């Protein structure tokens, strides 16, 4: 199969996955027991009022009509009206979406950078005490759910040392005119430290362990022995030859870690009162605001599906040996 054919096939898969994901979303939110009509309409509502509300949200139609309408809406980017805020879902989400992307994107990027370097190092010093310590520390970090790491950091750095704020995204009362101005300032950076650190500690375990085993595979190959025999300094072999050749498998878990961090945003944002999608999701579910919950679920799932797609394409692009199957 040629590269072109592979890409076309992968796009086909993407479409099928999206369709199934959207359908699942519809089924989960409309067909499950305790459907939204009974859950969201307060008691004591007269029959006419109830019907009016149902009609406004299109809930009085038969299910197959609702399904077609829902698909059409989502495909044209209309995510519906929030029950709780009384405004289009997009208006609620547009700022929160970027707040989450900034937070989790930073945590993810730093976790990957540290994970790859630490993993390369402990793979290199295989069989020593340092490796063992590295693995134990990594496994313990992986065993600590985000809320536990976050609470520990809060206890130490906020309540004991008083170095960082306990939550929020910027000092109260500050307003910014431009989009970039919202994020590129010291107030936000200061509020970002602890939540990002929480994510970094938890998410770096997966890339670290994978990089280590990938390093071990590469270090066993002949060309490393040859480089050693050539008398090339160790650190050059480590970074120029071994680590570079070990990085490829890291693309395979990108989507997995993105998925973990997207889901983890619910917990981290709750602990640090970060005004992002994750916390909004928790609240919208608590307050029965199902169009909002559904839209956030859709955005989060889309991020993971797209990252999967990009990672697959990156993999075949980066590795010319790969067979497209």
Q: Which is nearer to another protein, 241 or 279 (CB)?
A: 279
- Binding status of residue 20 toward another protein by CB under 8 A: yes
C-alpha to C-alpha distances, 16 to 65, 73, 227, 323, nearest whole angstrom: 21, 18, 47, 22
- Binding status of residue 103 toward another protein by CB under 8 A: no
Query: Residue 301: how many CA atoms within 13 Å on its side-chain side?
Result: 16
Q: At its nearest, how many Å lie between another protein and the CB of residue 237? A: 20
Ramachandran category for residue 107: left, alpha or beta (phi over 0 → left; psi -120 to 50 → alpha): alpha
Size of the site for another protein (CB under 8 A): 58
- Window of 66-74, 97-105, 189-197, 298-306 that interacts with another protein by CB under 8 A: 298-306
- Binding status of residue 142 toward another protein by CB under 8 A: yes
- Binding status of residue 32 toward another protein by CB under 8 A: yes
Binding mask 182-221 for another protein (x = CB under 8 A): -------------------------------x--xx--x-
CA distance 39 to 194: 37
- Binding status of residue 59 toward another protein by CB under 8 A: no
Binding mask 239-258 for another protein (x = CB under 8 A): ----------------xx--
Ramachandran category for residue 176: left, alpha or beta (phi over 0 → left; psi -120 to 50 → alpha): beta
CA distance 109 to 117: 13
- Window of 69-77, 87-95, 225-233, 282-290 that interacts with another protein by CB under 8 A: 282-290
- Binding status of residue 6 toward another protein by CB under 8 A: no
Pick from 131, 284, 133, 101: which is nearest to 199 by CA?
101
Pick from 122, 117, 109: which is nearest to 213 by CA?
122
- Binding status of residue 146 toward another protein by CB under 8 A: yes
Contact residues: another protein, CB under 8 A: 13, 16-17, 20-21, 24, 28-29, 32-34, 126-127, 132, 135-136, 139-140, 142-148, 151-152, 154-155, 159, 213, 216-217, 220, 255-256, 259-260, 262-264, 266-267, 270-271, 281-282, 285-286, 293, 296-297, 300-301, 303-305, 308
């Amino acid at each position: 199969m040629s590269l072109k054919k592979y890409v076309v096939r992968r796009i086909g898969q993407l479409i099928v996955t999206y369709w199934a994901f959207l359908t699942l979303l519809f089924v989960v939110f409309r067909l499950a027991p305790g459907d939204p009509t009974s859950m969201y309409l307060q008691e004591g509502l007269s029959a006419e009022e109830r019907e009016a509300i149902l009609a406004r949200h299109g809930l009085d139609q038969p299910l197959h009509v609702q399904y077609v309408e829902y698909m059409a809406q989502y495909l044209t980017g209309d995510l519906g009206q929030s029950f709780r805020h009384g405004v289009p879902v997009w208006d609620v989400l547009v700022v929160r979406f970027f707040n989450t992307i900034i937070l989790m994107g930073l945590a993810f990027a730093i976790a990957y950078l540290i994970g790859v370097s630490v993993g390369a190092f402990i793979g290199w010093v295989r069989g020593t005490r340092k490796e063992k310590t590295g693995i134990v520390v990594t496994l313990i970090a992986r065993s600590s759910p985000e809320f536990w790491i976050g609470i520990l950091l809060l206890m130490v750095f906020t309540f004991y040392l008083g170095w960082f704020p306990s939550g929020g995204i910027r000092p109260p009362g500050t307003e910014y005119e431009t989009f970039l101005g919202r994020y590129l300032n010291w107030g936000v950076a200061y509020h970002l430290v602890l939540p990002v650190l929480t994510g970094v500690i938890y998410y770096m375990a997966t890339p670290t362990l994978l990089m280590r085993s990938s390093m071990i595979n590469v270090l066993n190959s002949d060309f490393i022995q040859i480089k050693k025999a050539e008398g090339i300094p160790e650190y050059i072999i480590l970074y120029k030859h071994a680590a570079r050749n070990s990085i490829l498998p890291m693309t395979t878990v990108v989507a997995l870690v993105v998925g973990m961090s997207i889901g983890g945003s619910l917990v981290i944002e709750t602990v640090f009162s970060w005004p992002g999608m994750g916390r909004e999701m928790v609240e919208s579910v608590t307050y029965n605001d199902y169009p909002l919950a559904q839209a956030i679920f859709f955005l989060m799932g889309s991020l993971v599906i797209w990252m999967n797609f990009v990672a697959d394409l990156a993999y075949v692009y980066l590795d010319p040996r790969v067979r497209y199957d």
